[in-house]
Structure 1
């Protein structure tokens, strides 16, 4: 359960922008024009308002997935079935700039009705800013019952401010032919030391044996601290946990000693397209999430001649019983508390969660609702490329892995702070011990300031 925090300083600037923007009227393309469905008719305005009442309600939904990877098909299906409520999809890039664009659009009244959150951190900010409707006002859809126990990880102060709609799987994608050539089995339970050994055996010449985006770098320590706590019993920072140091030294060893994964400096300066590197066969292991299938099913842009197998993300913990993996549920869709069409947005959201989102499976997004047709979604996800995946390992990481999951919920300030410090370590600017000390010091300062 999360406590409400303070919205960042960005809110003040955006609110000021909102005051200025509020002086201008909304245009009809945002669905906020006067005389929308249900408006009362009076006097000489009867004829005009009657015509306006016949117009469809127009909703805008913002999400981070490219329209062609599922969202447009979802919107087209809804619009064909519901001529009275029409949806427009707007894509925003799920990075700092894109999230700021979404927040600004909402706070300045630019007609955002629904939007997808990808982290609890962003969700908390939007709740604090009054941009997420409390869904407890609706009694016709039981989110806990529909989505299962993992849905509780998205509650904030005991309430849902959105619906978690997808099963979020994170995994290591593997070039099965490369594994077979090296005599290596597809792992179902492994450690980072074992992955490091795989990377050495799979490394080919000057290439890398293992690659990843920088975003999941810290998943191993979040898996440890989600289980053991980000603070100790006395309330002080736990960022110097022994396994945090183990993570630092293991990944740095792969970068500097083994040369089996890209050094951070190279990855930042080259903006390495890691999915392309994997799908082209240059790197045999990729740490990623289910969105990989958006690219791996696209043989036009990413032709490949190998089978993709799947393994769980390895653990730092000595015992499997002490391990949690990133995953659970995701794509947390909220209704903008400032929307003038919240009831219509709610109708769409229920339809979407219970199966309307099926076309999203093409991009690796499987519906979380127990009432959705999972087989249909799986068939959609694999499309005509089912024979290019190892189905047993895919089913295991998507549906059968019993490992408990966590949803990252650290305040953005803490995430930024620790990233600044561990990047110094991976760039060779400070030692592991100095990195741990700096993270703990800054985390403790944050904890003191936010008591």
Structure 2
């Protein structure tokens, strides 16, 4: 589904919400509406939490642990798929008054749209939990208009997963810092026959652009678009060279039309390098569906510039959990959210989601992260990427409209329907058209 259509759909639904507001009761009218009257011994509160992670990959164990210890507040998990259709389903459920008490936002852009639509509760009314103190300085990236409308609960590392056996055979070390040009050379040396040396999950596909522009600015000092930045051009040229000249990574058209299951392709040993996030652990720990006979190593995502300089990588904090502003059980939801954030979420580490709170027990998370599969990972590189890498991080906060327009243009370049010059010019021109010459977005 086109993301612009999703946004238009949400806008239309906001109108429905406005009409419905006159028919419903305010969720903030009293403490009873927040669930306090329902916390008696005979009538437990039932909360529903919507998230994008499959229940069997940690969420159900979290719910079971809480429910066992808190008979007065029971939590049910509802899974929605974290794609365009799934996010629209979540927004529709909240706007039309279906049972949603807590929900997980996976991007700032989704969270900001929900705040704008009045769907996420301002948490400043709760004073018994200091989000910045618990989660650290990176929480600033998740403030919306200076406030928290959710709690960023996880550390979210992105990395290059490596077939350690293939690297050893080729005599290549596991990098601790490298450039995209160096990754390109690795891909050439690891490519065997007609196979590829490198593949990508589409979610972090465009991260190299944001690693640059999150620091350099998406607009220049004169207010015009910076999407024609030299390093944006370099990213396009490098990746296209890998697709067309080196044939070390799939052409974009092939990847889009085939819906390539990149995790399965990597875990089968077919391709030795994969650009992905920590959710890979959800599959790599599953030897039943994804059997493998090689050890996985981990490297940071490469930088575009040759010098490290002010390089930042995507990551930081994620899984921004909000309370529905229309929920009548907000106090109960807050109690659960505090517990979840301070370590109750540890079973989520089985899917690569590490607790961000300083008060969470990281040893519990690490145990959940690798379980009994420690022999199947290069533990030194795992620990480095997950815990020890001190490279500054950013959280993507670019407006969805700009994300859409730039992808529409760079896809034309990768599909050979327009030149590199035309592509960077079109991205910049469309950015200027959307936001005007004084944009700072």
TM bucket by the smaller chain? over 0.9
Instruction: Please state if 1:14 is matched with 2:2.
Output: no
Which residue is equivalent to 2:28?
none
| Cα distance, 1:320 vs structure 2 | 1.2
Which residue is equivalent to 1:4?
none
SS, match of residue 417 in structure 2:
coil
Which residue is equivalent to 1:127?
115
Distance 1:345 1:240, change over 3 A: same
Instruction: Please state if 1:390 is matched with 2:366.
Output: no
SS, match of residue 43 in structure 2:
coil
Distance 1:366 1:35, change over 3 A: closer
Out of 134, 141, 144, the position equivalent to 1:156 is 144
Q: Is the 8 A contact 1:118 1:331 kept in 2?
A: yes
Count of residues paired in the alignment: 428
Deviation string, structure 1 residues 109-156 (Cα, Å, up to 9, x no partner): 101100000000001000000011111111100011000111111111
Which residue is equivalent to 2:345?
357
Q: Is the 8 A contact 2:49 2:101 kept in 1?
A: yes
| Cα distance, 1:36 vs structure 2 | 6.4
Distance 1:126 1:35, change over 3 A: closer
- Write the distance in 2 (CA, Å) between the matches of 1:128 and 1:34: 23
Q: How does 1:179-258 map to 2 (within 5 A)?
A: 179-258=167-246
| Cα distance, 1:13 vs structure 2 | 2.5
SS, match of residue 106 in structure 1:
helix
Which residue is equivalent to 1:344?
332
- Write the distance in 2 (CA, Å) between the matches of 1:34 and 1:156: 26
Out of 149, 161, 164, the position equivalent to 1:176 is 164
Which residue is equivalent to 2:3?
none
Q: How does 1:405-444 map to 2 (within 5 A)?
A: 405-444=393-432
Q: Structure 2-normalised TM-score?
A: 0.93
| Cα distance, 1:184 vs structure 2 | 0.2
- Write the distance in 2 (CA, Å) between the matches of 1:217 and 1:52: 50
| Cα distance, 1:217 vs structure 2 | 1.6
Q: Is the 8 A contact 1:22 1:108 kept in 2?
A: no
| Cα distance, 1:208 vs structure 2 | 0.5
SS, match of residue 320 in structure 2:
strand
Which residue is equivalent to 2:29?
none
Out of 246, 264, 267, the position equivalent to 1:279 is 267
Which residue is equivalent to 1:318?
306
| Cα distance, 1:12 vs structure 2 | 3.9
| Cα distance, 1:37 vs structure 2 | 5.3
- Write the distance in 2 (CA, Å) between the matches of 1:11 and 1:313: 34
SS, match of residue 54 in structure 1:
coil
- Write the distance in 1 (CA, Å) between the matches of 2:260 and 2:191: 17
| Cα distance, 1:447 vs structure 2 | 1.7
Structure whose CA Rg is larger: 1
Q: Is the 8 A contact 1:36 1:53 kept in 2?
A: no
Q: Is the 8 A contact 2:14 2:117 kept in 1?
A: no
Distance 1:20 1:315, change over 3 A: same
| Cα distance, 1:376 vs structure 2 | 1.2
Aligned-residue CA RMSD (Å): 2.1
- Write the distance in 1 (CA, Å) between the matches of 2:273 and 2:286: 19
Deviation string, structure 1 residues 182-235 (Cα, Å, up to 9, x no partner): 000000010000000000000011110000122212100100101111110111
Q: Is the 8 A contact 2:35 2:329 kept in 1?
A: no
Which residue is equivalent to 2:76?
88
- Write the distance in 1 (CA, Å) between the matches of 2:21 and 2:390: 50
Which residue is equivalent to 2:323?
335
SS, match of residue 89 in structure 1:
strand
Q: Structure 1-normalised TM-score?
A: 0.91
